[in-house]
Structure 1
Amino acid sequence: MSTPQGTAADRARWRRYLADERAEAAVYRELAARREGEEREILLALAAAEGRHEAHWLGLLGGDERGVPRADIRTRLLGGLARRFGSIFVLALAQRAEARSPYASDPDATAAMAADERIHGEVVRGLAARGRRRLAGTFRAAVFGANDGLVSNLALVLGIGATGVPAPVVLFTGIAGLLAGALSMGAGEYVSVRSQRELLEASAPDPTAREALPDLDIDANELALVYRARGMDPAEAAEHAALVVARVHAVEQQPTPTDALGVAEHDDEAVGTGLAAALSSFCFFASGALIPVLPYLFGMTGLPAVLLATVLVGIALLATGATVGLLSGASPLKRALRQLAIGLGAAAVTYVLGLAFGTTIG
């Protein structure tokens, strides 16, 4: 063991970095254990890079591992989530953790280490993006459905309740709002996703069109017009079309892939299916819209019911906002507070209007 370098404060900082690097490497290994193929290899490579950083700090400490603290709370939380779930949420959190690396301003960290951390953030962002694409269709419907249910039915219940009508009227109004909103959201989401898929399908090439490629006139080559229609300049379109036709003749009219017509297939995972989106939207709107009604279902009335409904919806808004923040790689706290402010702001407006109408009617 060599003689330790630096001051006592330096060594304390190096030990903290050492603990964090070990914990981050463990997170990537835990995530890799739940994946296969390319994603597994990428995560193991990230773990190996964190191991190099660990060796750097251990070298500065002269190999002395005494007094190495536990990793910070965020990294330990990541490790626990990775062991239990290994989900897109962990990757989103890891992306934010890499972005907070202090190495760029630390005099004892090398420029290569600082660059590594920045690139690690982009690698994790890319891995997280794969999961986000898989979640995009149904998750979007779920989040927006839940939030719409929370905000719209809270506003409806508070607005009607503020007029002074009996509690059973408020309850049945909330239930009617739940059913009407959930059905409307489900139908709207189905139409939206189906329309999006139909538009993409309309832009896809006719699968029978490639049968004409072997018979095209090489001198005229109408295929160039296809490429020009899809955005290529004339010279590039002509060159690419000639290459495709020559390739078709060279292989004696063997089947040609669809991309010979210059179109990539659309991403079904990102679009989602109409039925899945509709069911998600219906269920999550209904679950969100049920929360403001709960106090009235259990027999509460008046101001206590209003306050409890508002608190319950506020908690749910914070949760959905934080979830969106995590998945988008943004600050969960900021997204949660934004969601809370928008939702309760809308409910407050209808409550004030209900009070005004109640006073006028009375």
Structure 2
Amino acid sequence: MDSHVTPTNAQISRWRRYLANERAEAAVYRELAHRKTGEEREILLALAESEARHEGYWRDKLGDYVGFPRQPDLGTRFVGFLAKRFGSVFTLALMQTAESRSPYITDVDASEQIAADERIHAEVVRGLATRSREKMSGGFRAAVFGANDGLVSNLALVVGVMGSGVGSNFILITGMSGLLAGALSMAAGEWVSVKSQNELLEASTPRLKANTLLPELDVNANELVLVYRARGLSEQEAVAKADEEFSRIALERAIGLNSEESSDEDDTLGRQHTPANSEWAAAISSFLFFAVGAFIPIIPFLFGATPVVGAIIATILVSGSLLITGGVVGVLSGKSPLTRGFRQLLIGIGAAGITYLLGLTFGAVVG
């Protein structure tokens, strides 16, 4: 800090907050690094070192005004809590958002270097978060989206039927029917989708094994080159790859190794060992997740609530659930969980409102 310039109280307070946040963010990256191995671990530790340098910058700037350590911002503390107790996907997604909104970009007291660092950190964390999202189980995403579909569709159904003027028992029966119909439809659709995908993968998987065919091929004609070129290699790459395989076969013959004894994994013609997803697992999970979401709107009617009271309670329960599922989707996509939560809430309440008006209209026409 320049000894000839005395910082204002506002500057001291802001710098102390920056110092606390940098210290906490470095701790978050170290905590995440403990859960990783290899390259990801190295990247996270490098980010922690960078945050430590930023911490040193603000400590030097404060000088004698550094004072006692203070608590970081609530948001930074929350990210630290997630880093210690949960997986890295949510933590990295929140850190991505935090790095993207760094106050250093507009703060004249921050050096250009650390402002640039924060922008780069945002891209680094974005890359790490993308890796984690790709590794995340598809079942988890199916749980979030399946439950969300059940919440919205069955709330709309229950409120729409209520608007037509029917009694609680009829609403409960309708809600249960909607739960079963929707869950079965989701399960059937997921089964067909995954089954079709597996069949396409199977159709694209080579049936021929190199360990049985290569010894029989004409080395001079070298038709193996055509196989590699058909799979996307350039002519040069295909020739080099084919020569390599024929050399291997010649070596095996020289040492008396039977090609049929080669490992099944050694499939030169490009067998794709992509594990197929189970269509039954996908169908069952879709059924359960949708059913859980669709069950929430009918809870009050299970306890004998009147149509109006039941619809109000159901709307409140579903609203809270939509905020949660929308927030989770927001975190996973690197967006504001609050914004995504309210967006999901508006969609759900909007669908329920429309079906309620349709129910009123239908009830008036029939009545």
TM range, smaller chain: 0.7 to 0.9
| Residue in structure 1 matched with residue 323 of structure 2 by the alignment | 318
Equivalent residue in structure 2 for 1:343, among 319, 332, 348: 348
**Kept after mapping to 2: 8 A contact 1:30/1:86:** no
Paired with 1:85 and 1:142, the residues of 2 have a C-alpha distance of 18
| Residue in structure 2 matched with residue 186 of structure 1 by the alignment | 187
| Residue in structure 2 matched with residue 123 of structure 1 by the alignment | 124
1:198 aligned to 2:199?
yes
| Residue in structure 1 matched with residue 172 of structure 2 by the alignment | 171
Paired with 1:91 and 1:279, the residues of 2 have a C-alpha distance of 30
1:333 aligned to 2:338?
yes
**Kept after mapping to 1: 8 A contact 2:162/2:308:** no
| Residue in structure 2 matched with residue 213 of structure 1 by the alignment | 214
Letter in structure 2 aligned against 1:26: A
1:278 aligned to 2:279?
no
**Residues 228-263 of structure 1: CA deviation (Å, up to 9, x unaligned):** 323345x34544444444553564467596574457
Structure 1 315/201 Cα, relative in aligned 2: closer, same or farther at 3 Å? same
With 126-135 and 319-328 compared, the bigger mean Cα shift is at 126-135
- 1:3 is displaced (CA, Å) by 4.4
| Residue in structure 2 matched with residue 248 of structure 1 by the alignment | 248
| Residue in structure 2 matched with residue 43 of structure 1 by the alignment | 44
TM-score (norm: length of structure 1): 0.87
**Tell me, which stretches of 5 or more residues in structure 1 are unaligned?**
none
**Kept after mapping to 2: 8 A contact 1:5/1:61:** no
**Residues 43-102 of structure 1: CA deviation (Å, up to 9, x unaligned):** 222212211111122222236531553211110111122222244211211111111123
The SS at the match of 1:61 is helix
TM-score (norm: length of structure 2): 0.86
Paired with 1:4 and 1:195, the residues of 2 have a C-alpha distance of 73
Equivalent residue in structure 1 for 2:293, among 288, 291, 308: 288
- 1:154 is displaced (CA, Å) by 1.2
Structure 1 265/99 Cα, relative in aligned 2: closer, same or farther at 3 Å? farther
| Residue in structure 1 matched with residue 157 of structure 2 by the alignment | 156
- 1:138 is displaced (CA, Å) by 0.7
**Kept after mapping to 1: 8 A contact 2:155/2:315:** yes
Letter in structure 2 aligned against 1:202: A
| Residue in structure 2 matched with residue 137 of structure 1 by the alignment | 138
* Equivalent pairs, count: 358
**Tell me, which stretches of 5 or more residues in structure 2 are unaligned?**
254-258
Paired with 1:110 and 1:156, the residues of 2 have a C-alpha distance of 57
With 332-341 and 3-12 compared, the bigger mean Cα shift is at 3-12
**Kept after mapping to 2: 8 A contact 1:144/1:281:** no
Ranges of 4+ aligned residues in structure 1 off by more than 6 Å: none
With 213-222 and 97-106 compared, the bigger mean Cα shift is at 213-222
- The percent identity for this pair of structures is 57
Paired with 1:241 and 1:44, the residues of 2 have a C-alpha distance of 39
What is the root-mean-square deviation in Å for CA atoms of aligned residues?
A: 2.9
With 5-14 and 174-183 compared, the bigger mean Cα shift is at 5-14
Alignment of 1:230-249 (within 5 A): 230-233=231-234, 235-236=235-236, 238-245=238-245, 247-249=247-249
**Kept after mapping to 2: 8 A contact 1:216/1:245:** no
1:7 aligned to 2:7?
yes
